[in-house]
Amino acid sequence: MDQLWDVLKAAETKGVAVGHFNISDWVLLKAVFESANELNVPVIVGASEGERTFLGVAQIAALVKSLREEHSFPIFLNADHTHSLDSAITATKAGFDSIVFDLSALPFEENIKQTKQAVESLKSINPAILVEGEIGDIGTGSEIHASVPDRSKDLTTPQEARQFVESTRVDILAPAVGNMHGMLQTMVQGDARKRLDIDRIHEIKSASRSLLTLHGGSGTEDNDLRKAITAGINIIHINTELRVAWRQGLEAALGQKPHEVVPYKLLPAVEESVKQVVLARLRLFNQQQRRSQ
């Protein structure tokens, strides 16, 4: 079975991106796995610190490993937005394939210093683990927000991207390129979409020569996502769209069966609702794009 690095490089050569979907329960994990399996494309499952605390670090690693082995399927596990070295070490030891080490809230130089130390320490535990670093501000919380803060001042510059990647030796970079965690209510309704700074992605790719992740992909204009892949994005994170589908599926199931108490008679509707989102996003990310570089 290929390692995550090989899968990402193969996707880059093909001009596609690998979908990353956050999960915090078995229904979500099942929906993500079934979708990727149906389309026969590799997939990354992500769990942030909060999601890991709820599901259990060792438990989520065991669940993903069991799917990977039983089906010989390229499903990988990422420790999303990890804010401390201790928490990153715990996930590395549990067998995660990659770690998003997110010190983007710190001043740039301090972020570089601590991220570099984390790369060295995590690779001494597992040389194959991929470490992703983050610079710029893409907000916090994959949930529904009342308004969009002005983030234009906090976008990543190509110079910062190059300096960060060269100094820290991260495998993957998460830049701020107009993306944002969470969604607005108008985005949930489909009235508004996020827009990306495609030229900036292009420049960051050229300057850093790094694999790039787009965080906060939920609610983004489809065509911007296509162009972002062409410009050099390799991984796209979707979380809030899944959470919305999870809730809508659950409300519909409870509404249709007001007296039902059997979980396995209610939860398939939730799985199906989440699956529709994952399938649509994976189809988009895996359309082959012509690279412009």
The pair phi, psi for residue 103, each rounded to 5°, is: -115, 30
The residue among 136 and 269 lying less far from Zn ion, judged by its C-beta, is 136
Among 84-92, 207-215, 242-250, 280-288, which window interacts with Zn ion (CB under 5 A)?
A: 207-215
Residue 73 gets the label, from left (phi > 0), alpha (psi -120 to 50) or beta, of beta
Nearer of residues 52 and 215 to Zn ion, judged by Cβ: 215
- Which residues have a Cβ under 8 Å from the Cβ of 113 and sit 6 or more positions away? none
Q: How far is the CB of 142 from Zn ion (least distance, A)?
A: 7
Instruction: Tell me, by CB under 5 A, how many residues bind Zn ion.
Output: 1
Query: Nearest to residue 74, comparing CAs of 171, 4, 25, 19?
Result: 4
Decide: is 243 part of the binding site for Zn ion (CB under 5 A): no
Taking the least distance from each CB to Zn ion, the nearer of 23 and 266 is 23
Least CB distance to Zn ion at residue 70 (A): 29
Closest distance to Zn ion from the beta carbon of 47 (Å): 12
Residue 278 half-sphere exposure toward CB, CA atoms < 13 A: 34
Q: How far is the CB of 33 from Zn ion (least distance, A)?
A: 21
Instruction: Kindly tell me which of 215 and 275 has the beta carbon lying closer to Zn ion.
Output: 215
- Residue 275 is a binding residue for Zn ion (CB under 5 A): no
For Zn ion, the nearest residue by Cβ is 215
Judged by beta carbon, residue 49 or residue 197, the one nearer Zn ion is 49
Q: Quote the least distance from Cβ 217 to Zn ion, whole Å.
A: 9
Q: Which is nearer to Zn ion, 215 or 243 (CB)?
A: 215
Q: Based on the number of CB atoms within 10 Å of its own CB, is 13 exposed (0-12), middle (13-18) or buried (19 or more)?
A: exposed
d(CA 203, CA 262): 53
Please, which residue, 46 or 269, has the CB nearer to Zn ion? 46
20 touches Zn ion (CB under 5 A):
no
Q: How many C-beta neighbours within 10 Å does residue 146 have? A: 6
Shortest CB 181 distance to Zn ion, Å: 6
Closest by CA position to 60, among listed 86, 41, 32: 32
- Range in contact with Zn ion (rule: CB under 5 A) among 122-130, 196-204, 213-221, 282-290: 213-221
DSSP 171-210: SEEE--SS--SSEEHHHHTTS--B---HHHHHHHHHHH--
Say how far apart CA 204 and CA 228 lie, in whole Å: 11
**Contact residue for Zn ion among 30, 200, 205, 215 (CB under 5 A):** 215
Among residues 55, 113, 53, 183, which one has the least CA distance to residue 101?
Answer: 113
Window of 89-97, 211-219, 222-230, 263-271 that interacts with Zn ion by CB under 5 A: 211-219
Asked if residue 194 binds Zn ion (CB under 5 A), the reply is no
Find how far residue 282's CA is from the centre of its chain.
12
- Minimum CB separation of residue 251 from Zn ion in Å reads 26
Q: Nearest approach, Cβ of 99 to Zn ion (angstroms)? A: 13
Chain residues in the site for Zn ion (CB under 5 A)? 215
